[in-house]
Each structure stands twice: as structure tokens, then as C-alpha cells.
Amino acid sequence: MAGFRPPKPEPKPGGLPFWKVLPAWLHDGLAVLSEKAYRMKMGQFRLPTRRFFMLNDPPLIRRVLVDEAGNYPKSDILGFMLKRLMGDSIFTSNGAVWRRQRAMLNPAFEATRVKLVFDQMRRAADEMTARLDAVADGRPHAVDIETTHVTADIILRTIFSESLDRERAEQVFTAFNRFQEIAYGLGMLRVFRVPTFLFFRRNREADRTARDIRGLLAPLIQARLDRIARGEAVPERDFLAAMIEARDPENDQPFDFRELYEQVAMLFLAGHETSASALAWTLYLIASQPDVQARLHAEVAAVLGEREPEIGDLRGMAYLRDVFRESLRLYPPVAFFAREPAVRECMRGKDVKPGSIVFISPWMLHRNIEHWEAPDEFDAGRFDTDKGIEAARCAYMPFSMGPRVCLGAAFAQQEAALILAMLIRRYRFETVEGHVPKPVARLTLRAENGVMLRLYRREAAA
């Protein structure tokens, strides 16, 4: 019997002319994929101004991201998209700048180890359930806004030791969603070497939304520095404290204010947006499959009972972990990575020159039928099969791989497991008839029309 096939954009016919491809690509990275793209090992797309390559073969991907990573720095397209928000942060920088930042941030992440922030995660999740109790009566509710609120609250607590209220959470959600849409479109225009300064209205709106987000973060950083200057007591175990203490290993210099802001902005935006996307899609998958939801509830109830979760409990939720892994396979938060070759290379007989762009897509790799059985179907049990274990080893990369692997991967997985466990124990989720989320890939993979679900308190449902 066929399994559950969650929403996926209909593949486009192959061989479309450029003038038909560009409008769709400006809006959504998934919109131009053909069915052949999911089966190929390497594709090529030519324009008069630039050549593009799409890799969908594990050895080629490993070559670019791991073995020869120094020859394939991040494309400046991503930097162009995000510069208004996070400048030359570790997420967008390359070369010596990136190596310096990584050397300074590695101890900062170690100093605030995942287990140290578990209580902050749990408090934020407790406040989330208090908010959801008010709407857990079966009415349709936008859970993607809630996942954004709780993940932004968690990352704000772990950076600044402060919580995020509803008003600021909605401001962040609205501003970042709009910024994604504008920045992605402007970035794709730059990919095609269309002069972006001609689109002055979009540039002005991107500047405004970036200022809105900066207005939340910069004052908090400055307030901490002012308190330190006055000799006042400040938190000593959050990310901001660790980054203020970080030193360049070569000259012992700290981050200046601009650098500090850029790293905080990177951590805040990347740290909550990707997790919010992953959680929203996971809740939709769970709501769509009552048998999966029932098994999850049984597992969580057996481990937790009625008590507060503790960090050791997460190791006992193997099925929950597999459900989340499968959600990340189907809906990786970052659907595309872009790299620019620094040297001339030959790949599968194709001449890859500097100035071209090499795309790697977790979305495509995770749905490659050569590596995954029934790749478009949800199957949390696939990771226990021989084929699934091998595919997870070579064709699974929701957090990238190599030197630029996500620093926050362990943080994100702990956060997701805790939030999902607390939600599944307390609520039953159902889909809303007629509402099917439409995945779109911009800076992150979101539902263009939101993720609407019905929630019921389990006591009330019983």
C-alpha cells in the first residue's frame, strides 16, 4: 500500500526557455525543477552571462563541500542577499575572514554547551503551551507563527538571557518573511546579472525590514556592553557573554561592535528561522498521519508521564527522533547551497570555470530515487533498513557537511525533540480540510500559504 505523500511542487517540463524559467526562479527555487532533476547526477544551465551547475550525486557533493571545500567558497549571492542583516558574519564570509570567525566562535559554542541551555529551552516551551492552550479548541491556527515564536524566544534567551513577547515575535515573523521574499528575488536577479539598483522600491523595502530586525538586536547588545562598562553584574553563561569573551587566536583581539552584532544577527536569524521551518513541517506531517501521531504520543507518555522533561529523556524517544529525521529529509530548512569555483575543474566531462555557480540541493538529494526508496513518501522507519542506513550515510545532509557544517546542529535537534515531545503529550493535531501547505524555497524552506492546523487539548479530546 502506498504511503503518505506530503506536498511537493509539480515538476516543470524539461527544456523550458530562459524567459519562461526566470519569473518562476525569481519567486521560488523549487519552481524550476523538472522530474529529470531528481534523477540526474549533474545538470547544466547556460545563460549568455553565466553558467550554472546542479549537483545531485553524493561523491560530487562531497568533493565540493568536504574534499576540496577551499576551492568552492560560498557564492557571494548569499552574502548579497543577507548583507543588510548580518554583514560579513560567519554564515556568509569566506577565506581568512571566515577562518578567524570560526576560530573565535568555536570556543563560544563550547562554552555554552547544549546541555547548559536545556532549562531555557524548556521554559520557552512551557510558555508556548500556555499560549496554545487558548487556541486548542479545534479552530484553525497558524502553527508556523507559533514555531517561529518559540524558536525565536529560545534563541533570544540563549543569546541574551531574555524572553520574547508575542508582539516582538510577530514583528520578527512578519519582517523576516517579507525580507526573505525580497532578498531572495533581488539575489536571483544578481545571479542572472540583472542590475538590482533598478529595483529601488524593493531595495528600499529590504532596507526597512532589515532595520526593523536590527532594531530588536542592536540595543540589547549595546545595553550589555554598557552594563559591563559600568561594572554591573551581567549573565555569564549565555552566547552573548561567550562572544564578548571570544578572542582572535593570533592577536588576542575581541570582536568589535559591528562584528559582534553581525555574529549575533547570524545566530539569531539562522538559529530560529531554520528550526521554525523544520518544526512547522514536522507538525504538519504528524497531523496528517494519525497512526504516527498515536505512536509518538505513546512513546512520549511512556518516557515522561506527567513530569517535566529532563535532558536525558530525549535519548529514550527513538521514534520521535526518526520522525524528525524524516521531516528534515522531506523538508530540509535550507533547500539549496550555492558555491563558486575558485579554480577551473572538470566534473563528469563538464568544464566548471570560475565565475560559474555550483548549486547543491538537499531537497533534491533527499528525494533522489537512486538512493531512497519511495523518496516522496513519509516513512520514519526507513532509517532502520539497510538501504535507508546507507542513504542516510551518503545522501542526507540537512545541516550541510564539511568545514561549513552547521555549528548549531546539536542545538537544533535538542530543541526540536523537546518542543515536539511537549506538544505531542499535551495536544492532538489535525489538518484543516482544504488547506495544503505549499513549499517554497527562498532563504529557507517555508510554506507560502502558511501551515494551518487544528489543536485539541488531549484531556478535552478524551
**What CATH number is attached to the domain comprising 81?**
1.10.630.10
- The per-residue pLDDT for range 348-405, each reduced to its tens digit, is 999 999 989 999 999 999 999 999 999 999 999 999 999 999 999 999 999 999 999 9
Q: Consult the annotation and say whether 346 binds a ligand.
A: no
The predicted pLDDT at position 65 comes to 96
Q: Which residues of the chain have pLDDT under 70?
A: 1-2, 13-23, 25-26, 111-113, 460-462
Gap between the terminal Cα atoms of the chain: 31
What contacts 27, CB < 8 A, 6 or more positions away? 185, 440
Radius of gyration in angstroms for the set of CA atoms belonging to the chain, rounded to a whole number: 22
The predicted pLDDT at position 460 comes to 47
* 244 grid coordinates: 564578548
Indicate the DSSP class of residue 432.
P
Report whether 404 contacts 410 (CB < 8 A): no
Residue 360: phi, psi to the nearest 5?
A: -125, 130
Separation of alpha carbons 49 and 338, rounded Å: 17
Please check whether residue 13 lies inside any domain of the structure.
no
Please check whether residue 2 lies inside any domain of the structure.
no
Separation of alpha carbons 462 and 456, rounded Å: 10
The predicted pLDDT at position 329 comes to 98
Please check whether residue 12 lies inside any domain of the structure.
no
Q: How many CB atoms lie within 10 A of CB 166?
A: 12
Please check whether residue 11 lies inside any domain of the structure.
no
Residue 167 buriedness (CB in 10 A; 0-12 / 13-18 / 19+): exposed
Indicate the DSSP class of residue 237.
S
Residue 50, classed as helix, strand or coil, is coil
Report whether 426 contacts 457 (CB < 8 A): yes
Domain limits at 73? Answer: 18-461
Please check whether residue 9 lies inside any domain of the structure.
no
Residue 117 buriedness (CB in 10 A; 0-12 / 13-18 / 19+): buried
The predicted pLDDT at position 196 comes to 77
Please check whether residue 5 lies inside any domain of the structure.
no
Please check whether residue 3 lies inside any domain of the structure.
no
Please check whether residue 293 lies inside any domain of the structure.
yes
The domain tally of the chain equals 1
